[in-house]
Amino acid sequence: MIDTLLKKQVDKSQLIFFALSSSLGLAILLIVIQLFIDTRSVFNSENDLLGNQNLIIYKDLGRNNAFTDQEIKELQQQPFINKTGGFTHGTYHVLASVTLPNYTGISTEMFLEAVGDQFIDIKSTDWSWQPGDREVPIIIPKNYINLYNFGYAASTGMPQINEKIIRQIPIELKLTGTSQTKMYPAYILDASEKINSILVPESFLNHTNKTLSPNKASKISRIILDVINPSDPKLLEFLASKNYNYLSNDVQNSKLSYVLKLILSVVLAIGLLITFLSIYLVVTNINLLILKNKQTITQLHFLGYSKVQIAKVYHKIAFKILGVSIIIALLISIGCKFWIAPYLEILQVDSTLITIAYLIIISIIIFIGLAVYYRKHTNSKIQQMLRPNTSLLTTEN
Amino acid sequence: MHINIQSITPDFFTPASSEVWSKNFELLPNSKYLVKAVSGSGKSSFFNFLYGLNNRFSGTIQFDNSAIASLSENDWTSLRRNKIAIVFQGLRLFPELTAMENIQLKNTLTNHKTETEILAMLAQLDINQLANKKADTLSYGQQQRVAIVRALCQPFELLLLDEPFSHIDKAQITNAVNLVNQQVEANQATLIVASLGDTYNINYTKTLLL
């Protein structure tokens, strides 16, 4: 009976409108959250288009272009640089030979470099070396494979290769240092899209440098930076002031990532704005409802109905609006997930169903948060209304 | 309920000298009091103080030796359910509900009376045939009788009746007074009736001039 009395002023169409506007805001919020979760791998990955958080810098050619300890220290102190890693190179001549059955062997002079494992986009348990190991793993730039396949192999009639086959090719490394020459069997572990160099494990390079050219110090001529944002103007200004060069491609990729993040953030802000506005509307509507029923509420209170009993009626209304809004928002965002999934595949994002679990958890959290807020708000409104000495309570004298 | 009143005066108007304002007196269980005054002298304010709707007064009111100023909102709700019943001067029925619904709204709080008992009380006041009529279709006198029955549908130790019979004819006043007397005695309660002058043939313990 108390329900019927207190709900007599409820305008259902108005409530449905509020529920729909809240669900629109919440749906945008959930969709953006879901996109953030789904594309997290794109933004964070180390070799992908959008996730390039590394920048390789080097000095102008033609002068002593090694980085001094002082310069490396200075780089490490910059707030926009997380980590620095130097490329160390071999202090010896390298001759690599490949012998393929039925073909004449190829041999080429080359070089070897090493960089900290955390900067390498290839994660493999085989990427290690210690004295006594049979073979040395090598990582080459992906460009080399392309150059070979579409340039050299095509014109000389050699077979084309891919990353899987390339592992099978036995390579003989002849390293000639100042004190001795040594042969090492090697193989190409993988091809990196990120690092344009021929890499061997740091342990191998340190070992060979020490044993083959003990009297030569290795210099660092290129440094890889782990940065928060490669297109950060402060970073670029700093690099320009020091005359350090970098590949502009890296910066551009980062800009793309930045723009995408910005767009998602703007949409998130719009979603938040709509949600706040709709919450405000619902709250205002509940206020109006309470005000319209002021007389009924105070009379019920005279009769012995507690504030809690009266407030419960309004809580139920608010929770229903909220529940309906969140369920609609959740359904829209799940629908959107399946609609967006094929587009995300282009970005090599595996849109997993775990995201839906995340969405449901987030929805429950939003529901609880807003329900607590509505409850508090309604309680305080009713409390205000039922304070002793309000005009309705004391009209008779 | 033992009510101890010590020198109360309303803060929002200056009352004329009376046997209530600025006086010390007690209202005892199993007793009946008439508060008699002309319109505007503060009868309803006195009732509002006792019912906790207004606390703008100086002085002290004690229920069973505890000052009502220290009562919490929940204490008042509990008192209004179980200890203090009231018929407001303005009745405060819900016009959109039927007579029975209005009464049940109060009764369901404590389930004090059965529907048969309620109907019997309505019959005693000759309005049982109106039980299912909406309150706003009833005359003021009929509404007053519904409000009286509603007030009796709870356990009480104090019954406040603010000009309860003003629009009821003499025959029905007798019926209503009989019903009220029965219930007050059954509850061993304190009865306080506010009236402009009529005594309604109730055997008062004391009359307080306001």
**Whether A224 and A267 share a structural domain:** no
Residue corresponding to tokens 């906790």: B52
Alpha helix stretches (DSSP H) within chain B:
43-51, 73-82, 99-110, 115-124, 140-152, 170-187
pTM of this prediction exceeds 0.90: no
- Whether A155 shows a pLDDT value over 90: the answer reads no
**Greatest mean pLDDT range, A53-67, A101-115, B70-84:** B70-84
**Tens digits of residue pLDDT in A15-60:** 888 888 888 888 988 988 888 888 776 665 444 444 457 788 888 8
- Report the number of distinct structural domains present in chain B: 1
Q: In sequence order, which residues have a C-beta less than 8 Å from that of residue A349 and are 6 or more positions away? A: A38, A39, A41, A42
Instruction: With beta carbons under 8 A apart, name residues in chain A contacting B80.
Output: 302-304
Owning domain of residue B85:
3-209
Q: Check whether A61 has a pLDDT greater than 80.
A: no
Long-range Cβ contact pairs of A47-52 (< 8 A, separation 24 or more): A47/A121, A47/A192, A47/A193, A47/A194, A48/A348, A49/A253, A49/A256, A49/A257, A49/A347, A50/A253, A50/A256, A50/A257, A50/A260, A50/A347, A51/A257, A52/A194, A52/A230, A52/A250, A52/A253, A52/A254, A52/A257
Q: Is the pLDDT of residue A345 over 80?
A: no
Q: What is the pLDDT of residues A288-309, one digit of tens each?
A: 888 888 888 988 998 999 999 9
* CB atoms B105 and A300 under 8 Å: yes
CATH number assigned to the domain comprising residue A91: 2.40.70
Contact status of A305 with chain B (Cβ, < 8 Å): yes
Report the percent of chain B where pLDDT is more than 90: 84
Span A90-99, pLDDT tens digits: 889 999 998 7
The answer, for A127 touching chain B at a CB cutoff of 8 Å, is: no
Phi/psi at A258 (nearest 5 deg)? -65, -45
pLDDT higher than threshold 70 for residue A327: yes
CB pair distance less than 8 Å for A395 and B90: yes
From A228, A245, A279, give the residue that closes a domain.
A228
Name the least confident of A58-62, A116-120, B88-92: A58-62
Q: Between B88, B97, B104, which is nearest A396 by CB?
A: B88
CA pair distance A27, A32, nearest whole angstrom:
9
Name residues 9-48 of chain B within 8 A of A (Cβ). 13, 40, 42-45, 48
Does a structural domain hold residue A203? yes
For residue A388, list chain B residues with Cβ-Cβ distance below 8 A. 52-55
**Strands A81-89 and A113-114: what pairing?**
antiparallel
pLDDT of residue A249: 66
Question: Residues of B with CB below 8 A from A391's CB?
Answer: none
Task: Assess whether A268 and A384 both reside in one domain.
Answer: yes
Mean pLDDT check: name the lowest of A59-63, A130-134, B19-23, B107-111. Answer: A59-63
Q: What domain range includes position A165? A: 83-228
Residue A310 has a pLDDT of 92
Q: Which chain B residue has its CA at the smallest distance from A1's CA?
A: B105
Q: Which residues of B touch A301 (CB under 8 A)?
A: 77
Query: In angstroms, what CA-CA distances link A307 with A301, A383, B161?
Result: 7, 7, 25
pLDDT greater than 90 at residue B162: yes
The closest alpha carbon to A163, from A186, A137, A190, A139, belongs to: A190
- Judge whether A292 lies within some domain: yes
Cβ-contact B169, B10 below 8 angstroms: no
More confident residue, A274 or A328: A328
**CATH code, domain carrying B50:** 3.40.50.300
Task: Let me know whether A140 and A261 are in one domain.
Answer: no
pLDDT of residue A394: 54
Q: A93 with A145, same domain?
A: yes
Q: Among A189, A211, A228, where does a domain finish? A: A228
User: How many domains would you assign to chain A?
Assistant: 2
Query: How confident is the model at residue A44, as a pLDDT?
Result: 58
Taking all residues of chain A, what is their mean pLDDT, rounded to a whole number?
84
In this prediction, residue B111 carries a pLDDT of 95
Contact A32, A271 (CB under 8 A): yes
Q: Pairing mode, if any, of strands B57-63 and A220-227? A: unpaired
Tens-place pLDDT, residues A247-272: 766 666 667 777 877 888 888 888 88
pLDDT band at A166 (very low <50, low <70, confident <90, very high): confident
**Same structural domain for residues A155 and A277?**
no
pLDDT of residue B31 exceeding 60, the answer is yes
* Predicted ipTM of the assembly: 0.90
Residue A249 belongs to a domain: no
